[in-house]
Amino acid sequence: MFDNLSTKLDRAFKTLKGQGSITEINVAQTIKEVRRALVDADVNYKVAKTVTDKIKDEAMGRDVLIAVSPGQLMVKIVHEELTELMGGEKQDIQIKGDPAVILIAGLQGSGKTTFTGKLANYLKKQNRNVLVAACDVYRPAAIDQLKVLAEQVGVEAYTEPDNKNPLQIAQNAIAYAKTNNKKVVIVDTAGRLAVDEAMMREIAQLKDVLKPTETLFVVDSMTGQDAVNTAKTFNDRINFDGVVLTKLDGDSRGGAALSIRAVVEKPIKFISTGEKMEALDLFYPDRMAQRILGMGDVISLVERAQQTFDEEEARRINQKIRKNQFNFDDFLSQLEQIKKMGDIKDLVSMIPGVGKAMKDVEIDENAFKPIEAIIKSMTKDERANPDMISGSRRNRIAKGSGTNIQQVNNLMKQFNDMRKMMKNMNKLTGKGGALSKMK
């Protein structure tokens, strides 16, 4: 995401390269380039102008004798201004009340139902007892879609398939939450393909009566300037508390992130970067600005990993490695964990340097499939005791998994090499080992 913008900014800064200081003359061209890059990235023209004027003032005021190149200094200034433009500090959602009610609004197809599932997952991981309420009574598939997602993340869904009154369903869901010890109710509502009065009336009424702690407006970042206009229309009518930007994994030029905050003066609270339930991140303005400038987003990467990886499981596996007991069950469990981390490409794009280089490289997630098939074709005993997997067993496993003997042999070799390496590490770091003091 944001490739366009960061590449263009890159070029803009190049015009400053090799110059000794920032002056009125050499900054003018760069500022023009930066403004064009922002507008091309779908940033509202007025917003782009305000930012670049500020950048210019900042740049001109800076002491040019410090030990950085004017280009580096400009990157820093642009980073600061973009951060500021996107709200400065991150803003989490408010969970208050018993139950706390979170109302989800937005156009049809913006990603409301998907986000409802993701938010439920996110809050459940904070040990909150969550109920999702299906109040999209117009799109028949929406109720089932929410039910499936709820089941997938392990929360309960409240539905009334025959009731056509969203307000009533929401109120019944809240009553149900009260008697069933649910602490958060997320209300998924109906959207339309475009803004229309009936939808606005409905969402406004839901907000008036339910008095949610948070009303979140969900918007598809791929829709560019329309996203900003829709945000403005919704905000004028329902005065929402925060924005969720979806589909930032796609081709989105990202201008929406930059403009929405400036135009509606409401914080972006979450970004959604894929269809998997884990592909949700809090919105950090400074990190997003870094990402726009191609500096990567390592902190988000690490946080996502921490959230997704099961620490208990990690400890258990660590113990097994230490005792030289790592087996195929553990290997499979590790593969599952990696897969849960969401789109691999999406994660790779967060690594500074690598992200840009990898942007056109296709990563084949299917590469895991034969490995999984092979391990799953082993018997329980074989997985627990890999040493017993002889030649004839390998033949059987290859047949059972729909792979061939070579693939099975390869996996066995890799697995044994890995175990050897683990053993050697244990020797080095174990009692009396050369690295034992470093533990």
Q: Is 373 annotated as a binding residue?
A: no
Least distance to ligand GDP from the beta carbon of 213, Å? 21
Q: Is 44 a residue that touches ligand GDP (CB under 6 A)?
A: no
CB 126, CB 138: distance < 8 Å:
no
17, with CB counted inside 10 A (0-12, 13-18, 19+), is exposed
User: Is residue 145 part of an annotated ligand binding site?
Assistant: no
Q: How many CA atoms lie within 13 A of 101 on its CB side?
A: 22
The answer to whether 190 is annotated as binding is yes
Q: Is 106 annotated as a binding residue?
A: yes
247 in a labelled binding site = yes
User: Could you count the other beta carbons within 10 Å of the beta carbon of residue 408?
Assistant: 24
Q: How far is the CB of 279 from ligand GDP (least distance, A)?
A: 6
Tell me whether residue 174 or residue 280 sits nearer to ligand GDP (CB atom). 280
Binding mask 177-216 for ligand GDP (x = CB under 6 A): --------------x-------------------------
* CA 62/CA 195 separation, integer angstroms: 46
| Shortest Cβ 355–ligand GDP spacing (Å) | 18
Residue 430: φ, ψ to 5°: -70, 180
When asked if residue 275 is in the footprint of ligand GDP (CB under 6 A), the reply is yes
Residue 343 within binding range of ligand GDP, rule CB under 6 A: no
Alpha-carbon distance of 106 to 195, in angstroms, equals 9
20 binds ligand GDP (CB under 6 A): no
**Count of residues near ligand GDP by CB under 6 A:** 17
- Closest distance of CB 142 from ligand GDP, Å: 6
Q: Which two tokens stand for residue 401?
A: 């998994």
Instruction: Report, in Å, the least distance between residue 118 CB and ligand GDP.
Output: 8
Q: Which is nearer to ligand GDP, 132 or 411 (CB)?
A: 132
**Would you state the structure tokens that stand for residue 183, as one six-digit string?**
């602490």
Query: Which ranges in 224-362 belong to alpha helices (H)?
Result: 225-238, 255-264, 285-292, 298-308, 311-322, 328-340, 344-348, 354-358
Per the listing, tokens 């905050």 go with 261
Count of residues making up the chain: 439
Binding mask 212-251 for ligand GDP (x = CB under 6 A): ----------------------------------xx-xx-
Q: Is 274 helix (H, G, I), strand (E, B) or coil?
A: coil
Give the Cα separation of 80 and 289 in Å (integer): 8
189 is an annotated ligand-binding site residue = yes
Helix (H) or strand (E) holding 135, with range, is strand 130-135
Single-letter code of the amino acid located at 5 = L
Has 191 been labeled as part of a binding site? yes
To the question of whether residue 112 is assigned a binding role by annotation, the answer is yes
Pairing between strand 268-272 and 280-282? antiparallel
Minimum distance, C-beta of residue 139 to ligand GDP, in the bound complex (Å): 7
Letters for 88-117 (x = contact with ligand GDP by CB under 6 A, - = none) are ------------------x-xxxxxxx---
Helix and strand element counts for the chain (H, E)? 20, 8
Cβ proximity to ligand GDP: between 3 and 249 the closer is: 249
> Which residues does the annotation place in the binding site for GTP?
106-113, 188-192, 246-249
Known binding-site residues equal 106-113, 188-192, 246-249
Residues that bind ligand GDP (CB under 6 A): 106, 108-114, 191, 246-247, 249-250, 272-275
